[in-house]
Structure 1
């Protein structure tokens, strides 16, 4: 088993937690248009459907906020395991629900897992990843979300032809399977070396770094010792400060990074894409597109395919270009959808429908709306989807990283709840105007990123202090003073014996096995 484990396989496996979020997205988008769901739950519209959708986000806010304490105290790995247990409980309640209240309760409990894992999985991945592929490693989380959405949607599409309650109960019960696999498999994964260092388990931290970076687990490898020193120096300097981590989180040094992390997560929701994934079937039906539920499935295929370029090239493109280009094109697609709806649409004469504005008899306009919906999904998958999870995990020091990411993720889920709750009533009240609102949010996000967000690609987590304090224009890539690759310089000095690594006084010795779990 140990020979199979490396940074890639560990990150891919732990990203199964992301697939749970993807399952949840499709558990709504694949069900809301079915007659079985509407009949059993009393045709929920407007606020009622918003409450069902948004209940998961409410639980996610609580889960994300608790992740800071749980992740620091019990480790990232064990806390993710706890989240999978909550998911199994929530999925069971959903699959056996007898009405809207129990369905909401089950989704809220499952949301605790989503909030907990969506904060801690990217932290865990960032803390085990080499700096040059950190973006790629964390993008596995995003790819898992899209794959989970795709798999669950087709499960639900297939089950929708069952003429009974099983049409939605079977897919909701199947959600338990990946959570069980993740819970069991986590027993074989190592702890985060930066978490081990933060709790004083230095020997284990060194051995995990050696395990992750070398084929023979050599703790005397110069590159292993260089990374160990970087972590050691950062943790030591943080713990020499007298302020508490909560006070430090809002200190002048850290609060800019915290607010940027929260802003990136909020803008990703205000882009409109995640909520659109819940309700695309309504949008296509209002545009007069036949077979809307089948066509919605293709957006999940597009999302998976377009996540792959981000997986390969995010560390080359950088964070800023991905967000800036993504914002502009997302705005364009939403403006086009809104413009076509207002130009060719008319009031819906049928009452008790999820939408009050429809297009009738304009195939070109309807086809263009479908194309723009697909383009919006692809654009989001290339830019905001992976970066919104990656950036908050990079910028905070290890001592406050869990708390910073927890607040950023809680902000994400708070925005998700607000939009998930609001969109069904908005579709019935302001219809096409909603798309202009989302387009304008994307323009605002572009402006904010342009003037406030530093580039962080290719840099170690320990270099973030310098990145945020170097004072150069944001569009210039940060270069460490005195050398363009500090870890390589440290490794050379250690290899030549000119640099002492032993700040902690711990002996550095060869270790023949990885840490026991």
Structure 2
């Protein structure tokens, strides 16, 4: 029996059931983790349009601008591999709280900075905090969420990026009217606000049942599952099946000593997993989106839209459209599947990026004589971000599904490492290349997206409808000890294996059965 078959049906929406309402409320603290990341790029974008910020830091361009924007990248690189160890050692909750505290400290230093070095140091500390929370957050969501809601909740994690970016854009736009250094200090200080929400919610959030089982805390894991997945029913079939699957999978992984780094190369399945994990950041970070997130100012300058107010308005409205599209796509990720959405996203990005490149060429080569080309470029940027947000919400969901438990924190570290390397490349190369060759640089991204289409088509499997443990079958074959197979082979005692009950017999600890949303 698969988990989706054991999950009781819901007659009402999930918020009518106290155990799901409480669980999702606490998990919201993990969903908003990317808001700080999104705020960062949007804020830096907006600050480049503020004369008071440019004057204070001597109009940074090229390598200087790249150094400022890469402060968070360097901090993230320093913390990446320690973050993997910390998450394995201390769980998922406490690393998020520790990372949030680091983010608050960094934002304060950034906001009170007196020079270039101090501003960069604040961003470096923020990057360290982001590495911790971004390592632990997706794992907490994937490993703790109610089984039928796991895909949507994990996908919503990435949607907080454009939401945070929108808040950053609006705050920076508002500070346009402040005639002092507070025009950039205030947005810099407010970057720490999401971290307070994270700390307040994650402190009360349950720990990952899979982490608890892996550390021998079986009864604590069972208590979490009974309270938040079984609605208090000690005899819940769903809880018993979940716990049995987790224990069977972890027992199998321990036998194979799959927690070591070298295990990524030991089997064909793990090599396939590794290739996917390293390639996902290419799609989410190297498809042209980072030049929009961090250098929209330069793009708009390149099509002769140079006024501060116009740039800030375009930035804010673009991000508002991103939030809507990201949430809409994340809500339907389970309906259409991962691979199909990845294909729609990468093809859509290429279709919009080609005319973006052509119109930019006409605009710059024509010395901006036809403003219609510039308007067309802006329109293509808006359109581009829709298919991008078809792909972006799937990144962390697919990462947590592809990686087995014992390698999941390491997978997160590798995922972030690849993303940070690409981010470092983008921070230095993008502003220099855009200044040097203008629209011709966009051709590089068209070629990269074309390669992405080929890789997704041939190498990305479909994981729709499977639990984290059941997905192992895709990579390891039927020998993977998951679900009912584990029971048949006697790997795990399951009191319901011989006499499975129908859902109508399942006691939920509620007055009504629950129907899947």
TM-score, normalised to structure 2, is 0.87
Give the 3-state SS of the residue equivalent to 2:438 in structure 1: coil
Aligned pairs (5 A) from 1:177-256: 177-215=193-231, 217-242=232-257, 245-252=260-267, 253-256=269-272
Give CA deviations for 1:330-365 in whole Å, capped at 9, x if unaligned: 11222212111222314xxxxxxxxxxx85231221
Which residue number in structure 1 is paired with residue 49 of structure 2?
33
* Whole-angstrom CA distance in 1 between matches of 2:249 and 2:234: 19
Does the CA-based 8 Å contact 1:288-1:359 persist in structure 2? no
Task: Report if aligned partners of 1:392, 1:405 keep a CA contact under 8 Å in 2.
Answer: yes
Residue equivalent to 1:433: 440
* Structure 1 residue 497, shift from structure 2 partner: 5.0
Quickly say closer, same or farther: Cα 1:269–1:359, change in 2 above 3 A. farther
Q: Which residue of 87, 112, 115 maps to 1:99?
A: 115
Q: CA separation in 1, counterparts of 2:145 and 2:467?
A: 10
1:466 aligned residue (454, 463, 473): 473
1:470: how far off?
4.4
Q: Equivalent residue of 2:48, what SS?
A: coil
Please, which of 354, 365, 371 is the counterpart of residue 373 of structure 2?
Answer: 365
Match of 2:171 among 139, 149, 155: 155
Question: 1:136 matched to which residue of 2?
Answer: 152
Cα shift readout 1:393-422 (whole Å, capped 9, x = no counterpart): 111111111111111121112111211221
TM superposition shift of 1:259:
2.2
Structure 2 residue aligned with 1:327: 346
Task: State whether structure 2 residue 58 is matched by structure 1 residue 42.
Answer: yes
Q: Which moved more, 1:19-28 or 1:71-80?
A: 19-28
Cα drift, residue 65 of structure 1: 2.5
* Contact 1:222–1:494, Cα closer than 8 Å, also in 2: no
Alignment of 1:88-487 (within 5 A): 88-215=104-231, 217-242=232-257, 245-252=260-267, 253-289=269-305, 291-346=310-365, 359-381=367-389, 383-470=390-477
- Is the contact between residue 30 and residue 138 of structure 2 (CA under 8 Å) also seen in structure 1? no
2:87 maps to 1:71: yes
The answer on whether the counterparts of 1:124 and 1:192 sit within 8 Å (CA) in structure 2 is yes
Which sections of structure 1, spanning at least 5 residues, go unmatched? 347-357, 472-479, 500-509, 512-517
* Conservation of the 8 A alpha-carbon contact between 1:303 and 1:378: yes
Equivalent residues of 1:286, 1:359 under 8 A apart = no
Matches of 1:496 and 1:246, distance apart in 2: 35
**Which residue number corresponds to residue 505 of structure 2?**
none
Task: Give the match's secondary structure for 2:332.
Answer: helix
Q: CA deviation at 1:142?
A: 1.4
* Aligned mates of 1:422, 1:212 — CA distance in 2: 47
3-state SS of paired residue (1:175): helix
Do 2:20 and 2:228's aligned partners in 1 also have CA atoms closer than 8 Å? no
Q: Quick one: which of 82, 101, 117 aligns to 2:98? A: 82
Number of residue-to-residue matches in the alignment: 474
The CA deviation at 1:181 is: 2.6
Is the contact made by 1:271 and 1:441 (CA closer than 8 Å) also made in structure 2?
Answer: yes
What's 1:476 paired with? none
The residue matched to 2:463 in structure 1 has which SS? coil
What secondary structure sits across from 1:174 in the alignment? helix
Distance 1:174 1:482, change over 3 A: closer
Secondary structure of the residue that 1:164 maps to in structure 2? Answer: coil
Which deviations, in whole Å up to 9, do the C-alpha atoms of 1:234-266 show, x marking residues without a partner?
A: 011111234652232332242321221111122
1:208 Cα deviation after fit: 0.9
CA distance in 2, matches of 1:245, 1:498: 38
8 Å Cα contact 1:133/1:458 also seen in 2: no
- Residue 332 of structure 1 aligns to a residue whose secondary structure is helix
| Alpha-carbon distance in 2 for matches of 1:279, 1:126 | 33
Output the CA distance in 1 between the equivalents of 2:257 and 2:315. 54
Structure 1 residues 5-14 or 97-106, which shifts more? 5-14
**RMSD of aligned residue pairs (Cα, Å):** 2.5
Distance 1:292 1:230, change over 3 A: same
Secondary structure (helix, strand or coil) at the match of 1:98 reads: coil
